[in-house]
Amino acid sequence: MGSRDVPGSRWVAFNTVYYKTLQIEAHRNGDRVGIPLASDDAEALDTAAALVRDAGFDPVVVGPLARGKEFEPDTKPYNTGMSGEELRTLFNRFTEPR
């Protein structure tokens, strides 16, 4: 299912972190836990990023919605609690130069 299947919908893929980690690590000092985000909709992405910041985490914009597969189960960043900076380094390695 995707945005074509639900007209007017706006999709954002985000989060890879176990809920207990989220509970314990919200608003921690220093480098915050990173929450990866992917979307084809800039406004929806901005809204999701604001929610992530408000919850005490570091939003990491990965790119278009198709890149959401890079943080699904069984991928390197899934459920690790990596910092935002660690996630940016990881995801930038996979970004092809434009």
Q: What pLDDT shows up at residue 31?
A: 94
Output the pLDDT for position 30. Answer: 92
- Strand locations in the chain (E): 13-14, 34-38, 58-63
pLDDT digits (tens, 9 = 90+) for 31-68: 999 999 999 999 999 999 999 999 999 999 999 999 99
Kindly state the percentage of the chain with pLDDT values over 70: 90
Q: What is the pLDDT of residue 41?
A: 94
Question: How confident is residue 98, by pLDDT bands cut at 50, 70 and 90?
Answer: very low
Strands (E), 39-90: 58-63
